[in-house]
Amino acid sequence: MIDQLFKWIWKFLDVIFYVLGLGSVVYGAFLIGKIVGYLALGGVLLLTGWFIDHLPAQS
């Protein structure tokens, strides 16, 4: 039971850190410039979409 709790907490933290990390990258890109920010945002969205499609297929 404790192992399942730690696995659930670890998955939750993975998602939170993923969102915070990519949000920081996009925010930093917007500080450089508007065009760079939009390019970074597009790249992050493409990467996230790819992860959503391909990671469950590997499980």
Q: Is 32 part of any domain?
A: yes
Q: Which residues contact 39 (CB under 8 A, 6 or more apart)?
A: 29
**pLDDT at residue 3 is higher than 80:** yes
Q: Which among 14, 18, 19, 37 is positioned nearest to 27, based on CA atoms?
A: 37
- Domains contained in the chain, number: 1
pLDDT of residue 16: 93
56 lies in some domain: no
**Separation of alpha carbons 58 and 43, rounded Å:** 22
| Residue range(s) defining the domain that contains residue 20 | 1-41
Interhelix angle 2-32/34-58, rounded to 10 degrees, is: 160
The pLDDT value recorded for residue 19 is 93
pLDDT, tens only, 7-54: 888 888 988 999 999 999 999 999 999 999 999 999 999 999 998 888
pLDDT value, residue 45: 95
Band the pLDDT of 59: cuts 50, 70, 90.
low
